[in-house]
Structure 1
Amino acid sequence: MTAAETPLAGPPVLARRPGRGRLEAPSLVHLAADAVRQRILSGQLAPGDRLVEERLTDELGISRPPLREALRLLQQEGLIETRPRRGSVVTTLTDQDVYEILTLRSALERLGVELGVPVRDPERLEVCRRALRRMEECAEAEDRGALVRSAYDFHSSIVALAGHRRLDESYAAVQQQVMLCMARNLYTREHEYEDLPTHVARHRHLLEVIEAGDPDAVLAELAVHGERSFLKR
């Protein structure tokens, strides 16, 4: 198992406490969860890798209680599994897992396109463009973990074109599973898959079709896009 030599450091990002006006730093638990999540999505922790608590506490500079809470959060998200006598390991997606996540994602995105294209709110389209620009920046920096997150944000912005709150919430509910699928495609047996600039170029083309305003054309491109994104193993 490999892991980045990245301790929890840097200025905290302030978050607003629900129901109150005060700002507070995110908890150590959430910072630790973010750090481990990044390692999983970047491929530094591969499917099936065991998460050794002693090693992670040393690398992250934290004690075991917040780390264990962080691992519980990641288990709830479906990114890790806890197995008898093995402890926590990075989730390994089966072909059936990928099929289920893909078909659910595709159904939600199709509904977003059917309700949201042609785009009537220019700001919603600008959100798509910003997400694509972040993808381009991540590809240029060869930051694979950040690219997975930005690609999810791009697809989420397509769903958001519909202006449908419950649809947005349904898509967000499978966020981590979708990103794990994306990571699986980018980092597992990588030589069989497209390079990062090509990956971004496909998303750029999808956005161009959305901007043209023909929902049928977008749905056709989205179907091909999905087939290319989730290749058979």
Structure 2
Amino acid sequence: MTEQQPAQQLRSPSLVQLATDAIRRMILAGELAEGERLIEDRLTEQLGISRPPLREALRVLEQEGLIVNRPRRGSTVATLTDQDVFEILTLRTALERLAIELGVPVKDPHRLEVAQAALAQMQHCADAEDRGSLVQAGYRFHSSLVALAGHRRLEEAYASVQQQLLLCMARNLYAREHYYEDLHEHVARHRKLLELVEAGEAAAVLAELAVHGERSFSDVQSRAGNSADSVS
């Protein structure tokens, strides 16, 4: 790479895919905030691409539900209301609890390999402070726990809210890191969960999930509210 080619610029036959991945990571890392307008000139310069592949990447992200395109307003990062978050995370908890009830103790040890690989990727992302990729690895980790049940329709139901879950997990990661949990502590929480799964203690896994999912998000939101009250 020459001095005229910034490290952030993209060079690949698949510029659309790379642009999609790069913008997705920026959204999940909080570098592009909820409701923020996506300025094409800024993104083409930042990523080193022309408008056509950028616009195609934005269309892909719109289909995923990560961005919204409105007439005369252009593309903005999708926004979740508190009710959206409540519905998404309570659904996630219900699906994960069912998966644990059906899948732990784990009958096929090979199913654990996906979870172990996802946890290793989470550790790598935390070391690199790559928050966007950490959120995606975190989703793969939770998805792999759902897969322990060997229940195709359950996996499909979980996958159907993937992008919404990613947005919730990104918001939760940002809030946790801001108030009380660094990236490595975030990974450690998931490592504890996997250790309980590997031990075959379904009741212990369910107890950990109870404080790992929407309850932990509520705790973060409560801390944020208290902090805002103390400032106002």
TM range (shorter): 0.7 to 0.9
TM-score for both structures, normalised by structure 2: 0.84
Mapped pair 1:224 → 2:211: yes
Unaligned runs of 5+ residues in structure 1 are 13-24
* Structure 1 residue 219, shift from structure 2 partner: 1.3
Distance 1:101 1:40 in 2: 18
Confirm or deny that 1:92 pairs with 2:94: no
**C-alpha contact 1:128 1:158 (8 A) present in aligned 2:** yes
* Contact 1:148-1:183 within 8 A present in 2 as well: yes
Change in CA separation of 1:144 and 1:214 when aligned onto 2, cut-off 3 Å: same
* Alpha-carbon distance in structure 2 between the residues aligned to 1:94 and 1:7: 34
The counterpart of 2:22, out of the listed 14, 19, 35, is 35
Is the CA contact (8 Å cut-off) linking 1:182 and 1:229 kept in structure 2? no
Query: Paired residue for 1:174, among 134, 153, 161?
Result: 161
- Asked if structure 2 preserves the Cα contact closer than 8 Å seen for 1:8 and 1:35, the reply is no
- Deviation at 1:92? 2.0
Contact preservation (8 Å) 1:7, 1:60: yes
Matched with 1:155 is: 142
Cα shift at 1:191? 2.2
Count of residue pairs the alignment pairs up? 215
Unaligned runs of 5+ in 2: 1-5, 223-232
Superposition CA RMSD, Å = 2.1
Give how far 1:189 is off: 8.0
1:132-211 equivalences in 2 (<5 Å): 132-188=119-175, 190-211=177-198
How does the TM-score come out when normalised to structure 1? Answer: 0.84
Distance in 2 (CA, whole Å) between partners of 1:78 and 1:166 is 22
Structure 1 stretches of 4+ moved >6 Å: none
1:188 offset after TM fit, Å?
A: 4.6
Superposed displacement of residue 110, structure 1: 1.3
Question: Could you tell me how far apart the structure 1 residues matched to 2:41 and 2:20 are?
Answer: 16
State the partner residue of 2:8.
6
Structure 1 residue 75 and structure 2 residue 62: aligned?
Answer: yes
* Alignment of 1:107 onto 2:94: yes
The 3 A distance-change label for structure 1 pair 229 and 198 is: farther
Greater fraction helix:
2
DSSP-derived class of the 1:159 partner:
helix
Report the Cα offset of residue 190 of structure 1.
4.3
1:64 aligns with 51
- Equivalent pair of 1:51/1:88 in contact (CA under 8 Å): yes
Residue by residue over 1:139-160, the C-alpha shift from the partner in whole angstroms, topping out at 9 and shown as x without a partner, is 1222211211111111011001
Give the equivalent residue in structure 2 for 1:127. Answer: 114
Q: Residue 232 of structure 1: SS of its match in structure 2?
A: helix
- SS of equivalent to 2:38: coil
One-letter code of the match for 2:74? Answer: G
